[in-house]
Structure 1
């Protein structure tokens, strides 16, 4: 049996916490528009993958994340292919957040969160992405300058995502402090924290290792658009 994180989108959309966000077309499914563009076809045959092209795509693209390489679905074209390092928290480290006030973020902060994500591009982030899980942030003079939170939630796991810091507020320890808060909450629920990173992002990889994450596998991310 494969590991749940080999097909994280499938595991999340079939899991107890996020199944209600699944939108289907034939054999394919995706997160509800506005939350995320992640999509999956449980049956990886070429015939079944064609159903991905029948999903609604108001954002213009769909994203698949799979341990195994998949065929390009009929009726779709590849916008981007990338390999990601999938990391799991194996040895939580101590991390000082002296002087860093990490605060919870919610619906009232949605516009600020979307603006920060649009500026910094931590990954796909839309007007409802902040509702996928708990988010925290750091404000400076009232302006949101950093945030981090949760995204995909396969049973027993929660993904750390949306980690971003305003260019004018970097190198202050904000990212590490926020990830520590997010992962502590995940662990307190009895779940395992995981995340995805570009393996050639040396700064991010160094931080994740320092926080106690270890690489579990390499997975394939593919951005698809209709042909």
Structure 2
């Protein structure tokens, strides 16, 4: 059987997060308010035609696969990036954080979106925070760092949305928040994983220090209507 992380978007949208999927023919994607990610059962021309129709109706998508998709009528590549997929069977503890961690609520959604827009940790939209549990650090009531959950293939949950206001970096916020998110995932009997752009060597070094090990390379291809 294929491993659920080999095609994480397909695994999530056809299983635990199928209730969040929009579909056209064989193509599925997260609702645009939640995210860009989409998937197909295979790259046959008729499947790509389904995806082109879905993009035309709902906007740009991002595929996360072992190989980029072949050219297809109605679709154009907006961007393409190599990603590392990393998995933490048992993240290394780094001690108790020297700061208060808060569970974020729907009332925090505007600040979460603003912080993600400022720091660009990856695709983040108006309802991305509803994909899972998010935690954060606040200073005088203002959100300055956060981390949370995104895709949920069977048996796994993705750690995502990790970002810190540039003025507050270097205080260990990202590490502490990631360990908190990962601990909650493992407490549910699941395994934490994440994706990082391969060129983001600083972030990868942090993830490795927290116990996330390289699993495989994937290609993130963002597609728009041609």
CA distance in 2: counterparts of 1:146 and 1:223, whole angstroms: 27
Does residue 200 of the first structure (1) align with residue 224 of the second (2)?
no
Task: Structure 1: give runs of 5+ residues left out of the alignment.
Answer: none
Work out whether residues 26 and 41 of structure 2, in 8 Å CA contact, stay in contact via their aligned partners in 1: yes
| Stretches of 4+ aligned residues off by more than 3 angstroms | 56-60
The equivalent residue for 1:5 is 5
CA contact (8 A) 2:55 2:61 kept: no
Q: What is the deviation of 1:6?
A: 1.2
**CA deviation vs aligned residue, 1:152-186 (integer Å, no higher than 9, x gap):** 00110000000000010001000000000000000
Aligned Cα root-mean-square deviation (Å): 1.4
Corresponding position of 1:34? 33
Which deviations, in whole Å up to 9, do the C-alpha atoms of 1:175-227 show, x marking residues without a partner? 00000000000000000110000122121111100110100000010000000
User: What corresponds to 2:190 in structure 1?
Assistant: 191
Residues 1:220 and 1:19: Cα distance change in structure 2 (over 3 Å): same
The offset of 1:57, in angstroms, is 5.9
Q: Give the TM-score normalised by structure 2.
A: 0.96
What is the SS of the residue equivalent to 2:108?
helix
Residue pairs, 1:143-222, within 5 angstroms: 143-222=142-221
Q: Measure, in 1, the Cα distance between the counterparts of 2:206 and 2:58.
A: 31
Distance 1:59 1:117 in 2: 22
The Cα of 1:95 is off from its aligned counterpart by: 1.5
The structural deviation recorded for 1:56 is 5.0
How many equivalent pairs are there?
Answer: 226
